Amino acid sequence: MTSDHFATGREVVLNLDEPSAPRVRHRSFAGRLFAPRIGIPQFIAALVVSVAVAVTATHTLESRRRQAADNAHVALTALVGPVESGGRNGRTVTLRATLTVVNTGPAAVVLEEVTGTIGGLTFRSDRSATIRPGVRRVAVTVTIDCVKGIPTEPVEAVMNVETADGQARVASPLMVVQGTLWAEASEQMCRSFSHPGDRPVP
């Protein structure tokens, strides 16, 4: 007699000679969620790539911020330049002269206009000019009142500029005129001036 037990009708047939099917273990949701999907080398490689991307993005952002700051920066200095020509009409001396502008900033700026007024001195630039980092001379027209003369205090050179970011900005460096080429030229031209009620400048 075999180990099989056969039954008819509703009886169940049980075959003890055949091995039972292996049981299938089902992982819990948490087990499936936290089960490792990649190996350690792949994980390290992915981590290195992520760090590299983050560093590159940070460097790019910082570079853009520095570039924006450089484009908005204005660092101009003004100095009296040589006199090209001049003349006097009554008590007023007019000089065709130059203004030396020094750009110590990192980017070029467009000098739309530079003006200055103090005592009997007034000057204004003749045209706009691009001032790159370094030194450039700008043509100006200078007028001096022989009666008022040139004071010893420095004059404020008001510079209207357009920076590299396209924005209009103003720089106002101080500039000494007394004892310079402008002052010497005006003094020579004012020596012969005399008008009733006016005090000529010696």
Q: What is the CATH number of the domain that holds 173?
A: 2.60.40
Q: Does 56 share its domain with 149?
A: no
The pLDDT, as a whole number, for residue 44 is 75
Inter-CA distances, 140 with 43, 95, 171, Å? 68, 8, 17
Q: Is the pLDDT of residue 86 over 90?
A: yes
Mind listing the pLDDT tens digit for each residue in 142-187?
999 999 999 899 999 999 999 988 999 999 999 999 999 999 999 9
Close Cβ partners of 1 (under 8 Å, ≥ 6 residues apart): none
pLDDT band at residue 64 under the 50/70/90 scheme: low
Q: Is the pLDDT of residue 52 over 80?
A: no
pLDDT band at residue 88 under the 50/70/90 scheme: very high
**Domain total for the chain?**
2
Residue 2: count of CB within 10 angstroms of its CB: 8
Alpha-helix runs per DSSP H in 16-164: 29-34, 40-72
Q: Does 115 share its domain with 54?
A: no
Residue with tokens 């003004």: 78
Average pLDDT over residues 49-55: 70
Q: Does 101 share its domain with 174?
A: yes
Q: Does 48 share its domain with 94?
A: no
Q: Does 61 share its domain with 132?
A: no
Q: Does 134 share its domain with 51?
A: no
In a domain, 26, yes or no: no
Q: Does 48 share its domain with 116?
A: no
Max CA separation in the chain (angstroms): 155
pLDDT band at residue 36 under the 50/70/90 scheme: low
190 alpha-carbon distance from chain centroid? 45
Domain around 55: 36-72
pLDDT band at residue 20 under the 50/70/90 scheme: low
Q: Does 86 share its domain with 156?
A: yes
Mind listing the pLDDT tens digit for each residue in 91-120?
999 999 999 999 999 999 999 999 999 999
Residue 157 backbone phi and psi in degrees, to 5: -90, 105
In a domain, 5, yes or no: no
Q: Alpha-carbon distance 171 to 161, whole Å?
A: 8
- Average pLDDT of the chain is 78
